[in-house]
Amino acid sequence: MSIRSEIDTIFERDPAAKSRIEVILTYSGLHAILAYRLAHWLWIKKLPLLPRLISQIARFFTGIEIHPGATIGNNFFIDHGMGVVIGETTEIGDNVTLYQGVTLGGTGKEKKKRHPTIGNNVVVGAGAKVLGSFTVGDHAKIGAGSVVLKPVADYCTCVGVPGRIVIQNGKRLQEEIDLNHNELPDPVAEAFNQMENRMRLMENRILELESDLEEDEKSGIKVI
């Protein structure tokens, strides 16, 4: 993938981008992904040490750590990016967007696949942690601050700690990348709202019973 394509991806998804020179000089996400592309090429060539050295230098300057062994598709965008970590056996599809503080991490000490596989057109919100060797499907959304420990199906969202899958309107037919990760549903808030509604119904029922009891007493009806 060319540097021009990487820059075009930033212009497509970040309204703050004003000029190409600004993007080239100031976007740490771009610097990190370009360093990764070089380190990954060297990693494939099985050169010792140098790929890891490049990734650590990029980490020092950008705050973004991408292991050179990770596999990343086209049109990959890291917005701001400070604190992003991508593990060695991570696989990322095309048109994926990560926000700051995202971890695509592993579990255990085994040498085999231990990091997540991220599908195409996926958005991972700020501070989210995706941990384990499972798949996040195409067009999925991971809410900010979520901790995802299980697979996420295509066209689903996952929010909360631990992550819970919430289906939004079934399948989505649009092909554009949806970056409105701030509009995800909150199942915890919904549960509290349901409890509040239930308590309100119970209070109203109690008031009705008390009112009926007072009417019976006024009518001289003895209530046992």
CATH number of the domain within which 165 lies: 2.160.10.10
Based on the domain organization, do 218 and 139 belong to the same domain? no
How far apart (Å, rounded) are the C-alpha atoms in residues 49 and 68?
A: 11
How far is it between the farthest Cα atoms of the chain? Answer: 97
Asked if residue 48 and residue 28 are part of one domain, the reply reads yes
Would you state the pLDDT for residue 188?
Answer: 65
The domain containing residue 162 runs over which residues? 3-183
Question: Do 118 and 100 meet the contact criterion of CB atoms below 8 Å apart?
Answer: no
Q: Are residues 219 and 126 in the same domain?
A: no
| Total number of domains in the chain | 2
Residue owning tokens 């649009």:
174
Q: Which pLDDT score, from 0 to 100, does residue 182 have? A: 56
Q: Are residues 163 and 222 in the same domain?
A: no
**Phi/psi of residue 165, each to 5°?**
-80, 135
Tokens read off for 38:
């070089």
Q: Which residues does residue 142 pair with via DSSP β-bridges, in sequence order? A: 124, 158
Q: Are 59 and 24 found together in one domain? A: yes
How many other C-beta atoms lie within 10 A of the C-beta of residue 178?
A: 14
Residue 36: the pLDDT is 96
Q: Domain check: are 148 and 206 in the same one?
A: no
**SS3 category, 153:** coil
Reference 33, options 141, 2, 123; nearest CA is 2
- Bridge-based pairing of strands 117-118 and 135-136 is parallel
CA distance 222 to 174: 67
Which residues in the chain come in under a pLDDT of 70? 1, 167-189, 216, 218, 220-224
Domain shared by 114 and 169, yes or no: yes
**Contact call for residues 167 and 183 (beta carbons, < 8 A):** no
Question: Is the Cβ–Cβ distance between 89 and 82 less than 8 Å?
Answer: no
Query: In the prediction, which pLDDT does 179 show?
Result: 55
SS3 state at 138:
coil
Which amino acid makes up residue 10? Answer: I
Q: Tell me, yes or no, whether 36 and 20 share the same domain.
A: yes
Residues 36 and 66: beta-carbon distance below 8 Å: yes
Q: Are residues 176 and 218 part of one domain?
A: no
Same domain as 175, residue 90: yes
In the prediction, which pLDDT does 164 show? 85
pTM attached to this predicted model:
0.74
At residue 173, the pLDDT reads 37
| Residue 197 shares a structural domain with residue 175 | no
Q: What is the pLDDT of residue 212?
A: 77
Collapsing DSSP to helix, strand or coil, 166 comes out as strand
Same domain, 16 and 85: yes
